[in-house]
Homo-oligomer: A and B are copies of this chain.
Amino acid sequence: MKVWLACLLFAGAALGSATAWSDEGMWPLQLLHGVEPSSEWLTRVRAASARLANCSATFVSADGLLLTNQHCVRNCLAERSSRRVNLVSAGYLASARDREASCSSQVADVLLDTQEVTSAIEAATRNLDARAANAARKKTLTDLEHTCHEQSRTTDPDAQIRCEGVALYSGGQYYIYRYRRYTDLRLVFAPELAIAAFGGDPDNFQYPRWDLDVALLRAYDERGAPAHTPGFLRLNFNGPKAGERVYVVGNPGATFRNLTVAQLLEMRDVELPHAILRDSELRGRLIEFGRIRPANAQIAQTTLLSLENTLKVRRYELDALHDTERFDRLRREESDLRARFASLSRAGHVTADPWEQIARAQESNRQLALPHLYIEGGAGFESLLFNYARTLVRAADERPKPNDERLREYTDGALLRIEQTLRADVPVYAELEELTLSFSLARMREFLGPDNPLVQPLLAKDSPDSLARKLIGDTNLDKVAFRMKLWNGGAAAVNASHDPMIELARDVDPAARALRQRYEDEVEAPVQMASEQIARARFAASGTTVYPDANFTLRLNAGSVQGWRENDLPVIPFTRFRGLYARASGYDPFVLPTLWQHARGFVNPDTPMDISTSNDIVGGNSGSALLDAQGDIVGVIFDGNSHSIAGAFWYNPTDNRAVAVDTAALLEALRVVYGAGTLLTELGAPPG
């Protein structure tokens, strides 16, 4: 039966013709066969596409130049800033190659190939109960990743290769994705925050908007030379036309379109309300932190920007889940699939009802969610320095174990990335660390209760504030040398350490691991097993329209440049420089950078700035190239309209719109505002 299902899947996934494309769907490239972007087109696009730590990017020159969003390189700008210099606000333009600024915690992964391993996972988990299957699944993926690494080392000993186990269709298929990884990324260009995010939080996710949210990084190879990337994609500086067919290639982060109703209710009634409550309070703390002392505003800037973005997403997700009409439709679809499954089941093919298993697991989840979030998830200890401590303590415990018996995030394939993160010399601001740690300790006490067995001793002789102050004040984990000493010293060094943050992480670890184990056994394991069964039922039912939920792996989507109707009024799919100048009030966040104020009489006011398209995207797609039919870049995705956030759960073609920076805006800005002639030459821009 497995083989039959697999055959059906492939028949389904292979789109028959170009007419099969709809705007909906984020397709893994390996599942596209015979549709209008040819396989040559797909191969070329894949080779030029990169996944950053948190975003997408595209090679745009033979010397490793990567095009992405300003908001995707904000961490790098913050890393290169200090209390005196604020590159996030000021922007950056490297005057020469040797002035390109290192982004020490960034990576770029280029997908080389994918290998399906579903049958290996099935063989390893067959006839096991849910918990044992969950353990076997992880162990098998670790072993497969290891084999992939070993094989790659033989063929290309210089290049860093990253092999990653990937579940598509919630476990309907398993793959090993093999990436070429670059860890030496350098900042070439980022515009000022005031133009990259003009309109700030008020305009975020609110098209029409006027933003130049673009940036350029350069990948360097292991010898410190610019990466050799002859397969880069060209920029078409004319941008797209209204109605033109456009493609988005990138790494959408997560969608929840195949979750069960029970899982969506859990998100709606438990997870999202709690997350919004936390995010809102932290937002208030960060805003006030910066309002009282302006110097603090800079310290908290990137944290606040990213928090406000997350909060807006969660708010709109919650609104979407309160759309009763849509939700009722999901209920009906689930009922239909469930009935179909039940009839197959009666025919003797399958047994337990996976929807019921998932619903039961949600009940366990309701018990475990908050302790798991605060203690294992780290929401009770929000601080960069605690994260270092947790990593060092866990790594000390895990590294001596056989590779396939470790927690998945400490297997051999992950260690280089951990070391990169520990070694990255990012600035640590004690005041900000104290704020987030004090906040999270206070909320942990509130939500687990002052008498919780972990909380009580922690705060028996301290307030959240005094404890945070002591921990942040006394730890040495802000120093790279100290972190590397513990990393290199392994378990002996970590266990002998009297650093208070290390001690805290050590004290918390038994409770955290116990919660993780309970969560994996009581929630993850039954959900995973049931999800695999549902995926198979969906393959059987849905035929050719099946695409897997997004999971931050490479996907292609086809759409077109178009607006929509908002409150019965048309929204046109282009904004222009003229509108930017009209909207600028001179008051935050509607204030233009000085260069843009000066350029007012020189730029062409008709230049298209931002575009709305019907492409089906979500967070993670930020920085994705918007491609025309030739595979040339005509825009850079950086946002969606407010309706696009419901895309986490369903795609609505009437109003879900992606938002991109038009390449014409990039050309005009680099040429007239920034005078970046060398860059324009490298980008193959027409002579100005």
Interface residues of chain A, those whose CB is within 8 Å of chain B, are: 199, 201-203, 206, 269-270, 273, 276-278, 280-289, 291-293, 315, 318, 322, 435, 438-439, 445-446, 449-450, 459-463, 465-466, 585-590
Contacts and interface: CB of A to CB of B under 8 A. Distances in A.
Contacts of A292: 288-289, 292-293
Contacts of A446: 201-202
A287 B438 CA distance: 11
A585 B281 contact: no
A41 to B, nearest CB: 41
A438 B202 contact: no
A465 B291 CA distance: 8
Contact of A463 (B282, B286, B588): B588
B461 A585 contact: yes
Nearest to A589: B463
Copies in the complex: 2
A278 B590 CA distance: 24
Contacts of A587: 459-463, 466
A688 B67 CA distance: 83
Nearest to A435: B288
A36 B539 CA distance: 69
A286 B280 CA distance: 13
A374 to B, nearest CB: 14
A549 to B, nearest CB: 25
A553 B449 CA distance: 34
B315 A277 contact: yes
A363 to B, nearest CB: 12
A202 B277 contact: no
A310 to B, nearest CB: 13
Given A273-B318, A281-B283, A284-B286, 4 more contacts: A202-B446, A202-B449, A276-B280, A284-B287
Nearest to A287: B285
A436 to B, nearest CB: 11
Contacts of A276: 273, 276-277, 280
A634 B460 CA distance: 34
Nearest to A460: B585
B281 A450 contact: no
Nearest to A269: B322
A282 B280 CA distance: 8
15 contacts: A201-B446, A203-B450, A206-B449, A273-B318, A280-B280, A280-B284, A281-B283, A284-B284, A284-B285, A285-B285, A288-B292, A291-B438, A291-B465, A460-B585, A463-B587
Nearest to A308: B446
A356 to B, nearest CB: 16
A461 B281 CA distance: 28
A284 B277 contact: no
Q: Which 5 A/B pairs are nearest by Cβ-Cβ distance?
A: A284-B284, A281-B284, A280-B280, A288-B288, A284-B285
A105 to B, nearest CB: 27
B287 A450 contact: no
A460 B199 CA distance: 12
A149 to B, nearest CB: 45
Nearest to A442: B287
Contacts of A438: 291
Nearest to A203: B450
Among A284, A463, A466, find the residue whose CB has the most chain B CB atoms closer than 10 A.
A284
Contacts of A278: 280
Contacts of A284: 280-288, 439
A277 to B, nearest CB: 5
A611 B520 CA distance: 41
Nearest to A465: B291
Contacts of A293: 292
A353 B276 CA distance: 37
Greatest chain B CB density within 10 A among A206, A288, A315, A463 is at A288
Contacts of A289: 288, 292
A291 B278 CA distance: 18
Contacts of A282: 284
With most chain B CB atoms within 10 A of its CB, the pick from A283, A287, A315 is: A287
Contacts of A270: 322
A417 B682 CA distance: 74
A276 B280 CA distance: 9
A101 B273 CA distance: 43
Contact of A202 (B202, B281, B445, B461): B445
A601 to B, nearest CB: 23
Contacts of A449: 202, 206
Contact of A450 (B199, B288, B439): B199
A458 to B, nearest CB: 11
A284 B203 CA distance: 23
Contacts of A463: 587-589
Contacts of A288: 284-286, 288-289, 292, 435
A438 to B, nearest CB: 7
Contacts of A322: 269-270
